[in-house]
Each structure stands twice: as structure tokens, then as C-alpha cells.
Amino acid sequence: MSKGDVLKPKAERWYQSKRFKRFRRNPLAIAGVMILIFFATLAILAPALTADRMGRACLRDLHLGRTEAVTVLRNPLSGAFWRASFAPPKSCYHIPRKGYSPRPKAPSKKYPLGLASGGYDIYYGIVWGARTAFYIGILVVGIVLIIAITVGGLAGLFGGWLDNVLMRLVDIVYSIPSLVLAMVFASIFGRGLAKTMVAIALVAWPIYARMLRGNILLVKSQDYISAAHAVGTGNARLFFKHILPNSIGSVIILASLDIGAIVITASTLAFLGLGADVGYADWGQMISFARSWISNPGGEPLKYWFVWFWPSMAIALFVLGWNLLGDAVRDALDPRS
């Protein structure tokens, strides 16, 4: 693993570095970045892309009329465009329904990707689902880092029995497959996006806590820290000013690149029925809507292909984007190559 050396001051700009050049020349990295840019665009422009099909509650909370919404939300010069893009009301995350029929409806002009079981607009769900995916990924990484910094920091800083106890805890949580443990936690916490995110974060932190602890021990052993200690710099000050900043860089980068894995866990939980509320734009949940329409024994095969195809493609591509990027970054950081 890298040893926190990414963050050492450098004369050259980051984009001039060899590492970045190697990264840039990697076609897989470029593909990953392109995929993520695509999803980020979907996510940011979600209100504009779906202005013509927004639910009533969403329009109400945006203080817009239906016809007005289309013109205003698609005009980057309007304030509403920016408000909706960056701070949309919660109600906009709920997929509007066209009718309530349990039978999926094939793609049509108005609903280009079709309607899922329950009249849910698949196009809307895919577009807003991109927001949800980023949202889950970023927030969970945030929570994971907080836990990892607390646990890894305490262990690395104080060492001794505390270190021992915390690292055993890390071992235990790490030894259980994350999906299994996340499933149990989500079951206890109950349904709801925030609860699911906490459940996922509670199983994802150990590897980063361990990594951070390792980095801290390394930094601590370096001369300038011992020197600072000798000069009488306080423990806390030393920790926050020197040790932490020098150990945390690679942990943050690697944890962020794990968004793909986090989204897999989140969508799996949603698929199992342990995710956000029913109707929330979430790809995993959209596949669970499709559950009973995946195969059509005796009838026309693949008749309802659109109900599972689009959301499953969305998840697969999104995760692929992160993993391509992650793979390239790890490669670029790898001191061996």
C-alpha cells in the first residue's frame, strides 16, 4: 500500500506528475472517468432532465407549476434551475407513478424506458437514482472515515491495550462478510435510506481503521515527530497537526474509491427490501419492483425485459466506473510500477 507519500509537498503540480501522466494514458481510467462523468451529469441535471414528469409533491416543494417547471428547470439562467439541481426537495426523490397497475408497461413515447410494476416511471427512477447512488456513496464514505479516524486514530496514537482491543474488534467485524453483517444491522435499524447508510458504514470501516493505524505508527516512528515530542509539543496538537494529516491521505483516497463497493452493498440491501422507502428513486429497489416480472414461464420470454434491464445496467455501469477509476489510481500509486 502507499505510505501516505501522496501528500508530501511537491515542487511540480499534481497534473504534471508522472503518476498523473501514467493515469491519463491508461484507457481504462479514461473509460471509468467518462462513465462517472455521465452519471454525475445525470445526477446534477436530474431536475432538468425530468422536469416534464415530476411528481406533484416535488413540484409543490419547488413552488413551480407543471408547465412552468419545464421552462424554468431547463433554463440554466434561472435561479430555480440551480436550486433544484443542488438542493432539490426530498419529495423529488420519489418516483412519480402513472397509474397503479401491478403490470409493467412497455416503453412508450412519454415513458421512454417504460413503467415498472406499480406505474413507476423507470426513466425518472434511473436519473434520480444516479443522485441517490452518489449520495449514498459519498455519505457512507464520510461516516466510514469518521469511524475509521476515531478507531484507527485512538489505536495508533495510544497503542497498548486500547490498540489491542480495538484491533481485535476490527478483526472480528472484518471477518464477517460485509453483506451479511450489513443485512443484520439494516434489519435491526429498519427501513429508510439514512438507516441503511449507517448500517453499511458500520461494516465498512474496519479496513480503513487498520490502514490508518498502520500509517500513524509509521509516521510516529519518523524522526521529526520524535523531535517535536522532545521539544514538548502536546499530544493532541501533535496528533492533529502532524500525525493525522500525514497519515490520512491515502486512507481518504482509497475509501473514496470504494464507493463502487458501497453502492453494491446498498443496492443489494435495497433489493432485499432493506433499503429506502418504497418508491424512492433507488436502482436496487427498482430491480426489486421487477422481481415477479423477470421470467415469464410459458409466455413470451423477455416480454418485460425493460423492468430489470435498465436499473441493472445502471448499477453495473456505475460500479464499473468507480472500479475502473480505482484500479487505475491504485496502479498509479503503486510504488512497484
Partner 1 sequence: MKKHLLLLAALGLWGMAVAATPSDTYVYLQSAVVDSLDPVQGYDGASNGIIENIYETLYSFKKDSLSEYEPTLATSYEVSDDGLTYTFHLRKGVKFHSGNPMTCEDVKYSMQRNLVVMPGDSGAWIFGSVLTGYGDDAMTEAKRALGDNASKAEIDQFLDQYWKKIEAAVTCDDMYTVSFHLAKPDVSFMARLLFTGAAVVDSKFAVAHGEWSGTEADWKDWIGRDLRTSYLHKHDAGTGPYKLVKWDGNNVVAEAFEGYWGGAPTIKKVLVQSVEEEATRLEALRRGDADRVDVNSWATVNAKVKQMSGVKVWSDPKWSPAGAHVVFFNFNVQGENNPYIGSGKLDGNGIPRDFFSDINLRKAFAYCLDQDAIYNDLFEGHGSWYTMALPPTWPGYDPDIPIRKLDLDKAEEYFKKAWGGKVWEKGFKLTITYNAGNTERQTVAEMIKANVESINPKFKIDIAPLQWSDYLKAARAKSLPIWPLGWGADYADSDNFIHPFYHSRGSLAKRQNFKDPEFDKLIDYARTLVKPEQQAERFEIYKKIGRMAYDVLPNIPYPLQSPFIITRDNLQGVYYNSMLSRDFYWKDISKK
Partner 2 sequence: MLNYIIRRALQIPLVLFVLSLIIVGLMQLLSPQQRAAAFITSDKQIEHLDQIIEKYHLDEGFIVQYKLWAKEVLHGNLGFSRISKEPVTATVRKKLPASTELALSAFIPIVLMGIWLGTLAATHRDGLLDQVLRVVAIIGWSLPTFVVAIWLVAWVYGGLGWFGIGRLPNSLLIDLATGNFHPHTGMFTIDGILNGRLDVTWAALVRLVLPATALVIVVSAGIMRVMRSSMLDELGKDYVRTARAKGLPEGRVVYKHARRNALIPVITMAGPMLGRMIGGIVVIELIFNFPGLGEWAAKAALQLDMNTLLAFVLLIGLIMATVNLLVDIAYVVVDPRIRYE
Say whether residue 299 binds partner 1 (CB under 8 A).
yes
Beta-bridge partners for 105: 115
Quick note: the x/- pattern for partner 2 over 308-327, rule CB under 8 A, is: x---x--xx--xx-xxx--x
Q: Which does 278 bind (CB under 5 to 8 A by kind): partner 2, partner 1, none?
A: partner 1
On the 0-12 / 13-18 / 19+ scale of CB atoms within 10 A, 198 is middle
Quick note: the x/- pattern for partner 1 over 81-100, rule CB under 8 A, is: ----------------x-xx
Residue 254: all three cell numbers together: 482509497
Q: Kindly list the distances between the CA atom of residue 23 and the CA atoms of 5, 15, 43, 257, 319, in Å, as whole numbers in the listed order.
A: 17, 10, 25, 15, 19
- The DSSP secondary structure of 241-267, one letter per residue, reads IIIHHHHHHHHHHHHHHTHHHHHHHHH
Q: Kindly list the distances between the CA atom of residue 169 and the CA atoms of 173, 206, 247, 252, in Å, as whole numbers in the listed order.
A: 6, 8, 21, 21
In the bound complex, what is the minimum distance in angstroms from residue 99's beta carbon to partner 2? 24
Quick note: the x/- pattern for partner 2 over 81-110, rule CB under 8 A, is: ------------------------------
Using CB under 8 A as the binding rule, the residues of this chain from 21 to 40 that contact partner 2 are 28
C-alpha–C-alpha distance, residues 174 and 147, integer Å? 14
Residue 190: all three cell numbers together: 429498519
C-alpha–C-alpha distance, residues 174 and 134, integer Å? 24
Say whether residue 305 binds partner 2 (CB under 8 A).
yes
Q: Are 320 and 35 in contact (CB under 8 A)?
A: yes
Quick note: the x/- pattern for partner 1 over 107-136, rule CB under 8 A, is: ----------xxx-----------------
Q: How many residues bind partner 2 (CB under 8 A)?
A: 48
In the bound complex, what is the minimum distance in angstroms from residue 297's beta carbon to partner 1? 5
Q: Rule CB under 8 A: choose which of 271, 280, 289, 306 binds partner 2.
A: 271
Considering only CA atoms, which of 101, 97, 106 is closest in space to residue 302?
Answer: 106
- Identify which range of 89-97, 148-156, 216-224, 259-267 contacts partner 2 by CB under 8 A: 259-267
Buried b (16+ CB within 10 A) or exposed e, 69-107: bbebbeeeeeebbeebbeebeeebbbbbbbeeeeebbee
Say whether residue 103 binds partner 1 (CB under 8 A).
yes
Q: Which residues bind partner 2 (CB under 8 A)?
A: 28, 168-169, 171-172, 175-181, 183-190, 260, 264, 267-268, 271-274, 284, 287, 290, 294-297, 301-302, 305, 308, 312, 315-316, 319-320, 322-324, 327
Q: Which residues bind partner 1 (CB under 8 A)?
A: 56-57, 60, 97, 99-103, 117-119, 190-191, 273, 277-279, 292, 294-299
